[in-house]
Structure 1
């Protein structure tokens, strides 16, 4: 495909970038938020819902799809796009974060990581090459390299050793799937924990490999918001200007805006969908906890400034009723709204960068969300 992997920065506003990334399943306009579809589905929503809210790309999880239903089964079904009936881009993570969060039931070596399934306790092994093979079977548009996500509080010695191994693993991933050998793009991941000089070293190493994009990993792992923002601002400028930059697993609306102001282009997080299932909803007027008694007889829309299906058709009173009654429709309507809110925020961001008003938009949301 012509221009596959090409990333164009159209305009900037400070460090904020407005760009386009070309993938095998279409162009992605950045900055962008990617809804998380862990097991080949964004929980409670259909592909049609996601298309309606203009989701450009969703995330699939290599670890979960490998364990169930199995990447080879997905390949026999024609790949994840066909299996899940999603015709737009998909990014798959490498499974590294899930594997490394298992701590007690995994064993890490230079060759890869041995772990036990959380489903049935069976033993499995991911090497860097295996992680890429699985993603090739899934047929995602963007594959992530296998890396080690170091937990918050890890000491310097361990972090240094880990980032060197992550570099060797990244080289093995790229060698296993050389650039241009198919329609899938591959992103490298910068680690280095919470030591700025180690972040510098990791960025230099990973960016020396010819990846199609670069991610900032190892954040949102227990540190303070201030630490996360500081390291994002430190790391983002270390990444190539002509490639997309992806901040993994982050976060709140303010985290996204802070990341964009640092020069980040792509984000994903389970927060909007998970919070929706817990009754916490994001609006233009701040966060709303729909289970509060104050909404029991509130006939107003969830967010008067939102044009999503939920806000156009249902009252806060009804949404509270569904949540309190544990009705399945509660998950669906709440998730629809939260993801629509995030995607609409990104649309506003793209427009503001084009118009040179990004800082005003950022301040507007900071004023609303800093109230808690």
Structure 2
């Protein structure tokens, strides 16, 4: 069996071009993972997601444990078979959703007791239970269980939370055990405090993980503060393992984070924006609900090769969006995911060619031009 491994193929400044090898296939990095919250990328068939260029999907432990249930998914052959995706899947630990979505919750050293936002049923999520759920799902990359405080938060709260997460990381590692072909990622915490991020990174490295995530960002601190943290946080983590920035993000967030040494990303933005009529393009965001598009025969993006751009006009996309037709969500989500994967390929190629800074300059310049003028 192919074991989980990570190889760096090229560097440009702090940025890395690499490949993660798993029994279910290779993941080209820098990589963007579409989010399949409830065992589906909304408005997309699995084959269509693969056609956009995605090598890996993300599934949500919290949502899947509540509905349809991890034990049920295991009985039905595991998450890959259940959702008809035969390539790698990363599952988050459930910690972030427990903190942000559940109604009544009580945090202790043991874990988090909470009531489901679905039906009010009571559950206890611990590092051990999180590892068990993710084993039942059969995901290829498992995230350790952590606590993520919302920012801003005072230093005392950040320190307390980070150290609890590090104790939970050790318990996650112990509970994960030896699972050849599967990987466990640790999650760095510490808010915007450089010394706390450093302490967290040291604790995780001493435990030993197959990859490392940067958690606790994109939670309200703003891009400037996030980039200031990313100026040091990736470099605190082991150089020979993949680095994953959780929950990020907008295209310009991704470009800036890659320049700072991040390898993996996930975000609901491309699919959520697609369902609300917003297209993410090389010239920025385009709102298809706007009346300026209703007589426009041109494609959304004349340089894009996705089905949305090669087969349909802006006028049609405006019409189906305003009419509430399901095809609107399908086409715009396909386009947005295609755009993200095209951006990742551009970043990989630029790192390999040693031209990442020039690529980033061109990316920002094109977006600054804005959308094409109305007809």
Instruction: Please give the TM-score of this superposition, normalised by the length of structure 2.
Output: 0.97
Whole-Å Cα distance in 1 between the matches of residues 179 and 80 of structure 2? Answer: 20
Aligned 8 A contact 1:291 1:320 in 2:
yes
Look up the match of 2:373: none
- 1:203 Cα deviation (Å)? 1.1
Aligned 8 A contact 1:248 1:267 in 2:
yes
Look up the match of 1:154: 153
Aligned 8 A contact 1:21 1:28 in 2:
yes
Aligned 8 A contact 1:34 1:267 in 2:
yes
1:348 partner SS: helix
Aligned 8 A contact 2:194 2:229 in 1:
yes
- Which of 193-202 and 83-92 deviates more? 193-202
Look up the match of 1:15: 14
Look up the match of 1:169: 168
Paired positions, count? 370
Whole-Å Cα distance in 2 between the matches of residues 188 and 261 of structure 1? Answer: 22
- 1:207 Cα deviation (Å)? 1.8
Look up the match of 1:105: 104
- 1:125 Cα deviation (Å)? 0.5
- Which of 240-249 and 97-106 deviates more? 97-106
Look up the match of 1:192: 190
Q: Deviations over 1:59-96 (max 9, x none)?
A: 00000000000000000011000111101100000011
Instruction: Please give the TM-score of this superposition, normalised by the length of structure 1.
Output: 0.97
Whole-Å Cα distance in 2 between the matches of residues 174 and 216 of structure 1? Answer: 17
- Which of 112-121 and 94-103 deviates more? 94-103
RMSD of aligned Cα (Å): 1.1
- Establish whether residue 72 from structure 1 lines up as the match of residue 49 from structure 2: no
1:303 partner SS: coil
Q: Deviations over 1:99-121 (max 9, x none)?
A: 01137521100000001111110
- 1:154 Cα deviation (Å)? 1.3
Q: Deviations over 1:324-365 (max 9, x none)?
A: 001111000000000000001101111111111111111111
Whole-Å Cα distance in 1 between the matches of residues 334 and 102 of structure 2? Answer: 33
Q: Deviations over 1:27-64 (max 9, x none)?
A: 11100000000000000100110121121000000000
Aligned 8 A contact 1:7 1:244 in 2:
yes
- Which of 186-195 and 97-106 deviates more? 97-106
- Which of 191-200 and 59-68 deviates more? 191-200
- Establish whether residue 302 from structure 1 lines up as the match of residue 300 from structure 2: yes
Look up the match of 2:361: 363
- Give the direction of change, closer, same or farther, for the CA distance of 1:103–1:74 in structure 2 (3 Å limit): closer
Residues 298-337 of structure 1 mapped to structure 2, 5 A cutoff: 298-337=296-335
Aligned 8 A contact 1:284 1:305 in 2:
no
